[in-house]
Amino acid sequence: QLYLKIDKMASDRAKPLVKLRCEICNVSVSSSRDLEEHKKGRKHKQREFELAREQLSPSADKRRVILGLLTRYAPVAKDAEQALDAYIDRRSTTSLDTKENGIGVVLRPGKCKAKSEGGVLLYYKYTQITQPDKMTLWQDALCRALHLTGRIRIASEGINGTVAGDSLALELYMSAMKTHPELEMDRSAFKESEGSAHDFSGLQVMECKEIVSLGIPPGSLKSTEGGVHLTPEQFHKYLNPEAVNPYEPVPPGLGKGSRTILIDCRNAYEWKVGRFKNAILPPTRQFSDWPKFADNLIDELKLASGGDPSTKGVETRAQNTTPTAVMMYCTGGIRCERGSAYLKSRGVQHVYQLKGGIHKYLEAYPNGGQYEGKLFVFDKRRLVQPPQCDVVGKCEVCGVQYDHYTDKTRCCTCRALALICPDCVQKLTPRGETNADDQTVEKKKSPKPGNLNYVCKLCAPAEETLPAEQPPSDKFEKFLAIFRGPMCAGKSTLFNKLRQSTDERLKG
């Protein structure tokens, strides 16, 4: 009887446990608790959405959802409805999603049946938005219904965004932005360029304090107090004041006989690949560094009023004269709005900015005009180039002409993009891969992106960088100064003994 009882226990243990099965996903779990966790997961919800899609008529449901989002605030024109019908015919598969936002069904990006023309829209507008949270939900639902990707920032001061997708979807998006009562954006407010939805990794719509991060609250520095807008044609003409007709009425500070200061409002890694001639290039990593740069620039110009007014590294058109006007430009124009307002708040009287930024300038002058090089953009394209453009970028290591950015070539300190040619990338030693004799050790695996032993000029000031022609004795003395300094003090007992033995050998 004991042996029979043992055999029965062994057979019971060999039997599989009672499992629960999810009827939707056809997945087995061991307990009710695991089943509840499974139903909260992403795969289970996605399967529910697919079943809901199969039960609905895809074309009719898509048209109802998109049309409801387009006409949420005002009716759309007949052209928009025709574009909607053409867009629905072009699309094939979609997936449904539900959100507790009071909007209803939202469509997630699907795949096109046939490859269609696409584009990228860059826009901004400073206007009072009473409910930024609801605007964020509406923008998110609209972009997902139209299968658009990109980044959109919404604040009480306005909206700033870049979206990419199908050309018909972009037309519908512009129609919705035009009919919104708080936005009312015309087609001229959008900067269009070639691209597709794959230029962005996804869609990001967020509510922020500022639509462009300057670090100053919008209430303290209003964009309405910025500089005067110049069309691309006016900006092109006033870049060379000597060519302006003296009998033609011009804005104060511009024209023949006057001197203008041209400032680039972009970051250092942007103007390295393209810029206007004789422009002041700020050594900034981000736009929040602009106030500090502007303060230093204003102080230099005031000190130079009695002598040579030229700033460091800047070519001026007139010597020994006080600057009378400031001209500014950026990628799309939004940074000039806050940047020019900051200059005027510091006492600069005549400030002018390029309306629409470099995007609009290249639309007016497809061959580049007075712009040299390529245009840096914040998506997977990296660079937008005119049909005829020269390479103005240079490798930051060897100085050869080069203007191609990769995720691998970054500063190991601040992680900013760096222009480094392929030959110098191979020569640079990956971090942590050197031996005592300072010889490069061959890696078994390829180095990770951005893991090069390179420090940009912004992170390594000139006074801390060793010149290339410095004699070895000076290098050794500087090494000893660092070795004996507080940075290396108190690291370990072995390190302290090594310092003592080194000092004794030097005395000997």
> Catalytic residue positions?
330
Q: Which residues pair with 274 in a beta bridge?
A: 373
Q: Which residue has the tokens 């006033």?
A: 238
Structure token pair of residue 8? 């029965």
Structure token pair of residue 291? 């106030």
User: In terms of DSSP bridges, do strands 149-155 and 191-194 run parallel, antiparallel, or are they unpaired?
Assistant: unpaired
User: Nearest-5° angle of CA 430, CA 435, CA 439?
Assistant: 70
CB-facing half-sphere around the CA of 199: CA atoms within 13 A: 24
CB-facing half-sphere around the CA of 292: CA atoms within 13 A: 8
Render the burial of 372-390: b for 16+ CB within 10 Å, e for the rest: bbbbbbebebbbbbbeebe
User: In terms of DSSP bridges, do strands 383-384 and 375-376 run parallel, antiparallel, or are they unpaired?
Assistant: antiparallel
Q: Judge residue 160's burial from the number of C-beta atoms within 10 Å of its C-beta, 0-12 exposed, 13-18 middle, 19 or more buried.
A: buried
Q: What is the rounded distance in angstroms from the CA atom of residue 54 to the CA atom of residue 96? A: 10
Give the number of other CB atoms < 10 A from CB of residue 49: 17
DSSP letter for each residue of 203-229: EEEEE-S-SS--SS-TTTS-GGGS-EE
Helices 290-303, 334-345: crossing angle, 10 deg rounding:
50
Using only the alpha carbons of the chain, give its radius of gyration: 31
Structure token pair of residue 141? 């639902």
For CA atoms 267, 272, 276, 279, give the dihedral sign: positive
Q: What is the rounded distance in angstroms from the CA atom of residue 294 to the CA atom of residue 338? A: 12
Q: Which residues pair with 263 in a beta bridge?
A: 280, 328
Whether the Cβ atoms of residue 276 and residue 370 lie closer than 8 Å to each other: yes
Q: Which residues pair with 225 in a beta bridge?
A: none
